[in-house]
Structure 1
Amino acid sequence: MKLHELYPFPEERTARKRLGRGRASGWGCTAGRGNKGQNSRAGAKHRAWFEGGQMPIARRLPKRGFKNYPFRVIFQPINLDRLMASFESMDTITLDDIYGRGLAPAGSLVKILSEGEVSGAVTVEAHKFSAKAAAKITAAGGKVIALGSPEALAETPTE
C-alpha cells in the first residue's frame, strides 16, 4: 500500500470554499458574510460570549453563595466491598496497593466508605475512613490506619 492509495481518495475529499472569486462561484460579492455589520469587516472577530457592547450576562446576574474551589479537599471514595474484592487474600492493604490496583489515581486522597462487608481481620491504610467503615473493619478484628486529618490535608489541595 502506498500513500496515494489511502482513504479517503482525493475525489472524496471536500474542497475548501474559495471565497471572493466572483459572483458565478456562489461565494462572490460579500463572500457569505452578509451586508455591512461588524462581522462583514476584515479582521472582525469577537469572543463567543461577546454581546455587542450590551452588559454581558455574567455581569448582569447576581453572584450568590460561597465558592471554596482553591482550598477544597477532594477524596477518592472506595467502598469496602470493592476493596475486599480486590484484596481477598491480603491481610494488610496499603495506599500503594490501592494505587497499584487502579482503585484510585496515584497520589490522590482516599476515603474508605462502609458499603459491603469485611470478611476477616485486615489492616487498611487510607487518608480517611467513614465511621461505619472503621467500625466494620475493627469489628472484624482488623485495624484502621488514618494517614492524615482533613485540616492537615487542606493545606495541600489536590484534584
Structure 2
Amino acid sequence: MSYPPPPGGWQDPQSSPPVDPYAPVDPYAVAKSPYPQPAGDPYAVPGGYPPPGAYPPPGAYPGYAPPTSKTNSLAIVALVLSLVGFTSCITAPIGAIMGHVARKQIRETGEQGEGMAKAAIIVGWILTALLVALIVFYIVMIVIAVNSDSSSSY
C-alpha cells in the first residue's frame, strides 16, 4: 500500500515513509546506518602499515614502570594480632608493639601500610588498657572478698 505524495510535490524530511504493518519482515536484514560509511576496508590501518624494519629496535623504549612499593608485612601481622586481641587479649599488646616497629620500618623503607600499622597501634593499646582495667577490677574484687567480714551464724 502506498500513499500519494503530499500536495506540492515535496517530501517532508522529518517524516519517514509509512510502514505497512502486514509486510513480511526479513529477520536477517541489516539495518542501514544513517551515517555515511567510508569506502574500502573498514579494518584497514589509517596510513597503511609501516615498512619492515621501520619499528624501533628492541630496547629503544624504556621498560615498564617499577611496581608500586609493597605493603610492609610487619604492619599486616601487627594489625592481625591486634584484631585477634578481641578474642584473646594477650596478643593485643604484641600487635601494638609490632605496629610501632612497622611504622619505623615504613618510614625508613618507604613501603605501604602506614594506616594498618597505625590501626594496629590504636586497637592494640585500647585492648591492652581494657585488659589491664579488667585485671585491676578482678584484683580489687578479690581483695574486697577476702577482707570482708565473713562471719556466719551456724
| TM-score using structure 2 length | 0.24
* Higher-helix-fraction structure: 2
| TM-score using structure 1 length | 0.24
Report which of the two structures shows the higher radius of gyration computed on alpha carbons. Answer: 2
* Higher-strand-fraction structure: 1
